[in-house]
Structure 1
């Protein structure tokens, strides 16, 4: 490990992640993540397999029904916290007194300190997005893009070798997807060190959960990289920008609106990233390229 890598590792690894002052009280309601079923395959054989759970979670804010999220249920309290922050329904974690999840009634009760001003008006206009499980953002979020400021490329950048180490970490990561498929995974990196990993039935749920974790522990995004297995849509780009992360890496591709939004924000997007392969779509100025040697052309010999 290089000296710079050792310094980065030390900066990214506090002795323990401590909640910020004024953080809400959270339950720890964990649902069953996998379910066993029997299937009949193409050989006519029956056998057991595992599939991911999926369950509704209806969010109530001060006893008012807000939204129902379809989720795996890995860390539902952080999902709800991140959702409220990313929808700009709350600005700070200390506005929330508690988040209580009860799977017996499939509900999350959010108690605020002093209520949320103009909640009805702020949630009146909805935009249905391409998020798995059908994502929703509230209309005025789209108009706030110009107010999002990311760190300068001189201080927030990534080396090709660091990107390779990130992809190797994700390749080795034990996951529900590896056991059962049908879920998306998201991770937060500081350099090549993974700080947080979560899976859910929708990629937007996974990034909301990471957003909640960052806010709860006061983790800044400027020196971080966000990884997702899902495609880079405008919703994913916007949510990463809201938590201050300027670099996103995806195993999948990018949409035209995601590309346009990232270009306007000065974000770096990598897609089709697996093993040592990647495509850098935007933000070349944040990337320290260390080009791979060109592969020799294949000769086709006929005869």
Structure 2
């Protein structure tokens, strides 16, 4: 069996600095195909950073709605080959049988798998209602986001990966996971929380990216009442957050940010509308 690739590596390059070109090198993040296999059937293949793979496997199963608990994600076998990395598991709690039945019902007579309507339904499936009364102060949120760069060890090496973090305002704990893909980073974070027995409902999900609807969906599925990010959200992300009861904070730059949905969870915010 081939060893799992390192999450980063140093490569040679030519660097132009101050009008002079010379030989140099740079540490860059690795990107490799990661296959999620359940009961011998491949569910999906993601291009991702080969790090925190057990967290990735568990978190992906949870945010995809295949399981609700870490223990039902099953033991994960990590198998590396020349083609990529396979994360093999067998879903527990009766979920494997349900998963197999669902795959059989979705396969048409030509064996094409998901048809267009089924794919659209999967992409827009309903989210849980987040009626959590958690509140955080604006100062605390700003401080938590300010702490993220110092905890992004892979990004400090490469300056090329996203991060997802969980901030618990009660304990002050900050858990960070990184990946070339922002969705992958959030899946890894979801898995880390589940494997450590931590409730996402007790804190805030922080992202170093824009907020797409997929990030809102994943955060909602793990029960996070607040998501905050450094870049702007999409319109569908805002509508989805509003509908499921999630507080969406974005465009966090220094001490400034914008609250798009359910502002009551953020204390000390400016109440007047700013055009």
TM-score, normalisation: structure 1: 0.75
Segments of 5+ residues of structure 2 without an aligned counterpart are: 108-112, 271-275
5 Å-filtered alignment, 1:53-202, equals 53-104=30-81, 106-113=85-92, 115-117=96-98, 118-120=101-103, 121=105, 124-125=113-114, 139-140=121-122, 142-145=124-127, 148-152=128-132, 155-191=133-169, 193-202=172-181
CA contact (8 A) 1:126 1:139 kept: no
Aligned to 2:225: 246
C-alpha distance in structure 1 between counterparts of 2:248 and 2:106, whole Å: 30
Secondary structure (helix, strand or coil) at the match of 1:230 reads coil
Segments of 5+ residues of structure 1 without an aligned counterpart are: 1-28, 128-136, 292-303
Over 4 Å off, 4+ runs: none
Cα offset, 1:58, TM superposition: 1.6
C-alpha distance in structure 1 between counterparts of 2:106 and 2:195, whole Å: 24
Cα offset, 1:125, TM superposition: 3.3
Relative to total residues, which structure has the larger helix share, 1 or 2?
A: 2
Equivalent residues, number: 250
Secondary structure (helix, strand or coil) at the match of 2:21 reads coil
With over 3 angstroms needed to count, the CA separation of the structure-2 counterparts of 1:199 and 1:73, relative to structure 1, is same
- Deviation track 1:47-72 (CA, whole Å, cap 9, x = no partner) reads 01110011111222111122112111
Aligned to 1:37: 11
- Deviation track 1:112-160 (CA, whole Å, cap 9, x = no partner) reads 3453312404694388xxxxxxxxx873352322xx12134xx311111
Cα offset, 1:178, TM superposition: 2.7
With over 3 angstroms needed to count, the CA separation of the structure-2 counterparts of 1:263 and 1:59, relative to structure 1, is same
- Deviation track 1:179-211 (CA, whole Å, cap 9, x = no partner) reads 212211010010172341010011111111111
C-alpha distance in structure 2 between counterparts of 1:185 and 1:245, whole Å: 16
CA contact (8 A) 2:63 2:221 kept: yes
CA contact (8 A) 1:74 1:198 kept: no
1:269 corresponds to 2:248: yes
- Deviation track 1:210-230 (CA, whole Å, cap 9, x = no partner) reads 111222233222221000011
Aligned to 1:289: 268
Q: 181-190 or 35-44, which moves further after superposition?
A: 35-44
Secondary structure (helix, strand or coil) at the match of 1:65 reads strand
CA contact (8 A) 1:151 1:222 kept: no
C-alpha distance in structure 1 between counterparts of 2:256 and 2:115, whole Å: 37
